[in-house]
Structure 1
Amino acid sequence: MSELPAITVTEEDYNRLMSLLDRDDSDSDVLEGLAEELERAELVPADQLPEGVVAMNSLVRFVNEGNGQSHDLTLVYPHQAGAGAGQVSVFAPAGAALLGLSVGDRIDWPMSGGKILHLKIVSVTRPE
């Protein structure tokens, strides 16, 4: 796996996600990976999150470098997933991989079955 890019997460997102992870007793590699990502994240107040950083409820355009396909997804909390098309839960492999990345970042994210997703962030639009 390539070196992990630095990630930045708002204090609010960190606290809410850690609370959700604490309450989830499933034995999931994705959730374990998300917890590890959160532990290494730089935490900032929401109003100090730099432009172009993926936060919760951000609309993210990224490219799967394995197949060249571009995707637009909104990163949502697990209870919001499925409420509409174009959403990905932060508890899903791609969602966990996206949190805290910046435009231009690349990450290799392990999938079930030993496959690796190679993602590159193209743009980030955060809600007002």
Structure 2
Amino acid sequence: MAEQMLAASGFAPPLRSLIATRGEGNPFYIEELVRSLRETGAIRATTAGYELVGRVDEVAVPESVQDLIAARIDRLDDGPKELLQTASVIGREFSHRLLVELAHSEQAEAYLRDLEASQLIDTGSDPFERGLG
């Protein structure tokens, strides 16, 4: 699963061990762990696949899915973080237009694209957006 996420042909043994040990077979945790490792620069691509940048014991890995996601959110710049907080207040499903309107920011569209690219928001599930295409 992790190899598919990174389109990698393989992982160095220490990285494979870290993912297997910490992931404990939980696909959602593994997905968030790989995103976190990539976003923090803890892994790098090589000709053989991916490897850890440092030693396994130097990698700080949150214990739960919630902690992994919270750490990813904490790393966001203020603008995207505020937009994500606004979205969370609206609820699980919200109108793209409503979110941008509530944001009162000229950068809201760009922030929304960044949040979608980082897979913290899924704008494709906007029930109003699909009907207006």
TM-score scaled by structure 1? 0.26
Higher RCO (C-alpha 8 Å, min separation 6): 1
> Which structure shows the higher strand fraction?
1
Q: Which has the larger radius of gyration?
A: 2
TM-score scaled by structure 2? 0.25
